Structure 1
Amino acid sequence: MGRQTRWIAAVGAIGTAAVLVWWTTTANGAQPEAATPAAQVQQQGVVSEPETTTPEAPEAPDVSEGYAPPPGSVPSEQPPAGNQTPAKPNPPADSGAGAPKGVTTSALKKVKLSAMGEAVADSEGFLLYRFDKDTAKPPKSNCAGECAKKWPPVLAQGKPTLEGVDPSLVGTVKRSDGTEQVTLAGWPLYRFAGDPKPGAWKGQGLQGVWFVVAPDGKRNVSCLPKGVTPPQS
């Protein structure tokens, strides 16, 4: 009976001490710490992972609003300077390419026209002209370029056959393009591109400097168009 009494007394003392501690704590205003959300979740048996947020990709710039890539970001389409083929230079304007070559003749013939009298024709029967801006001593042609298109020079084709023309009056002169032009008494001879057929003489007296040539190399002024004054020499 003595041991049981002592055990009961000890238990009662411990209980009394516990009550005193609780009362003291409550009286001082201490509150038990609240469980953290994570602890509460763990207490409920569920563990949640933190949410992850994927950053959104930036929008592509609108090229219509003036956006341009930074210099050097776009490769140039120009080939390296060392690989470029140099452009071929254009031929000079006065190179003589495409220059009129004139007409060739194998004969000079004296012909007689009803309205004009004696004149000189080539092997095809076209009348020949002389140009007052040329010179006979020494022989020199001053008709080239556009002039030679309207007045093709008569070029030598070997030694021409002569009919009614003095051989001593016939010669040639070298033109600026290297061709040989037939002369009569030193005057270079020409056709007129406007003559439509053999025997025509539409070039007579044009500009007051073009005239049908006579067999002696002089101008034939027997018949001149209206308004053309015969030259004085």
Structure 2
Amino acid sequence: MRKSKLIVIVGLLALAAAACGSSSPKTTSHPRTTSSSTTKPTVVVKTSTIKPYGTVLVNTAGHALYVFAPDKATKVTCTGGCAKIWPPLALPSDAKTKATGAVKASLLESDPNPSGGRVVTYNHWPLYAYVADTKPGVAHGQGLKLSGGYWYLMSPAGAVIKSKKSSSSSSGYRY
């Protein structure tokens, strides 16, 4: 009796092992696997309110996006060491852009990056993050003169926001 129980258990284990082995090819050809591999990655540009500047463009993580005045629209000039401090919003070759919030999809494009790949642009301005903006809702780079030029936030209307953060809320310096 004991021997027959052992044979039944061994038989069931062998059957279970065979069933597991035969299902793995079916799993790799499952339609979900195929569809997820054909889904393009997406670079999202959205909006957020950052005081005292109002509604500005931000990346997926909610970090402010800036434009670099020397870029003069459509030309990426922040490369090398500059790009380590101000990383461009890169668009991988297989990715697409997505506008959410008040972002206008018609203003969202990309331009070649001299360092390789493409950079997401808004109203023809290449977009960058700033490494000192370590959390969403801050814009420490606004109005800074670094890496050979001024850095500004971008409004969802496509306008460069040139106001500087002031030490007093009553005075707003614009240039």
Note if contact 1:172-1:180 (Cα within 8 Å) is conserved in structure 2. Answer: yes
2:127 is aligned to: 189
Cross-structure match for 1:37: none
What is the TM-score when the length of structure 2 is the normalising length?
Answer: 0.65
C-alpha displacement of 1:222: 4.5
For 1:48, the equivalent position in structure 2 comes to none
Question: TM-score when scaled to structure 1?
Answer: 0.49
Establish whether residue 209 from structure 1 lines up as the match of residue 150 from structure 2. Answer: yes
Unaligned segments of structure 1, at least 5 residues: 1-103
Pairwise CA RMSD of aligned residues? 2.3
Structure scoring higher RCO (CA < 8 A, sep ≥ 6) equals 2
> 3-state SS of the aligned residue for 2:57?
strand
Paired residue type of 1:124: A
Q: 1:156 aligns with which of 72, 86, 91?
A: 91
Matching residue's letter, 1:206: L
Mapped to 1, the partners of 2:139 and 2:42 lie a distance apart of 18
SS at structure 1 position matched to 2:83: helix
Give the residue type in structure 1 aligned to 2:43.
S
Which SS does the other structure have where 2:160 is aligned? coil
Q: Which moved more, 1:185-194 or 1:156-165?
A: 156-165
| Cα deviation, residue 225, structure 1 | 4.0
Name the % identity.
Answer: 34
Report the Cα distance in structure 2 between the residues aligned to 1:222 and 1:175, rounded to whole angstroms. Answer: 28
**One-letter identity of the residue aligned with 2:124:** G
Q: 2-side partners of 1:189 and 1:166: how far apart?
A: 15
1:124 maps to 2:61? yes
Cα distance in 1 for residues equivalent to 2:166 and 2:77: 24
State the distance in 2 between where 1:105 and 1:219 align. 24
Q: Provide the secondary structure at the position in 2 that maps to 1:149.
A: helix
Distance 1:224 1:124 in 2: 22
Deviations for 1:97-154, whole angstroms, at most 9, x for unmatched residues? xxxxxxx972110112342211011111111000000022xx1111111111110000
Contact 1:115 1:223 in 2 (8 A): no
1 CA distance for matches of 2:163 and 2:72?
Answer: 22
What are the residue-to-residue correspondences of 1:1-233 with 2, within 5 Å?
106-136=43-73, 139-157=74-92, 158-163=95-100, 164-207=102-145, 209-225=150-166, 230-231=174-175
Q: Which has the higher helix share?
A: 2
Residue aligned with 2:43, SS:
strand
The structure with the greater share of residues assigned to strand is 2
Judge conservation of contact 1:204–1:225 (CA < 8 Å) in 2: no
Q: Which runs of 4+ in 1 moved over 4 A?
A: none
Q: Which has the larger radius of gyration?
A: 1
How far, CA to CA, are the matches of 1:117 and 1:222 in structure 2?
A: 11
